Structure formats: structure tokens, C-alpha cells
Amino acid sequence: MALTDRIKEDLKASMKAGEKTRTSVLRMLTAALKNERIQLKKDLGDEDVITVVGREMKKRREAALMFSKSGADDRAEAEEAEAAALAGYMPEPVGEAELEAAIDEVIASSGATTKKDMGRVMGPVMAKFKGRVDGGVVQKKVLGKLG
């Protein structure tokens, strides 16, 4: 089953079950997917859907961080709950050992030695694990190995 079909089915199920938060999140995701489809002028594949879901999760996490900094903990919790609901549509996260091995492999193959070479490492690693790893985590690990 395609990811878009799964999202539609989950939306129907959450509406029937009366899950307000999940229904709201899935409606926002459906709208974001529709906007992406219009912008790209093509039907979305699973990889496109994962990109949109990742973008929406990032928005929720950033909002939660801002709310928690301003003392609105209830709003921060709501944003985190929405991000958690979206996480179910993301692929399995990359394991620590697998990520380390991939970074080491790219560093060795690209000949990167300094922080200036970081882009030569980040690009291939992020492309390999698209949607499965946070860029900030990769950046920290790459900086640790190069700097």
C-alpha cells in the first residue's frame, strides 16, 4: 500500500474513532501533501511523502521548542504529540553504528580532512539515509570526526 493511501485510511479510521488530535494532524498532512503535489505538478511517490512528513515534523518540533522556551508547556506538549503522530509515517531511523560506518566510509572515499570538507561528507550521507536521520545529528558526528 502506498504511503498516501495509508494516510487516507488512517484519517478515516481516526475520524471514526473520534481521535481529535490525530485527525487534525492527518488533515494538515493531507493538505500539505496536496500542496506539494500541486507544486511539483506530479503524483507523489513514497519518497516525496516522506520528505513532506519530515518537513511537517520539523515544524512541529521547532514550534514545541519555541513554546517551551516561552513557558507555554501545554502548547509545547501538543506540538510534540503532533510530531509523534507524524513519526509513524517515517521510515525506521538509522542505527548509531550504521550511521558512524557510513560517515567513516564517505570521509575515506572523499578524502575529507577538515571542517571545510564537511559538505562533501554531509551530502552523500544525507542522501543515503533520506528521511531516516536528522541533519543536526549527522552534522555533529561529521564535525566530531573532521574537527
What span, in angstroms and rounded, lies between the C-alpha atoms of 25 and 43?
21
Contact predicate 60/80, CB 8 Å: yes
Q: What is the mean pLDDT of each successive set of 10 residues along the chain, which is 147 residues long?
A: 90 94 94 94 89 91 93 92 90 86 87 83 86 83 82
| Integer Rg of the chain from CA | 18
Instruction: Give me the pLDDT at residue 121, please.
Output: 86
99: nearest Cα among 125, 136, 73, 80:
125
Is residue 93 within a helix (H) or strand (E), and if so which, with residue range? Answer: none
Within 10 Å of residue 48's Cβ, how many Cβ atoms? Answer: 17
Is residue 147 within a helix (H) or strand (E), and if so which, with residue range? Answer: none
pTM of model > 0.85: no
Instruction: Give me the pLDDT at residue 112, please.
Output: 78
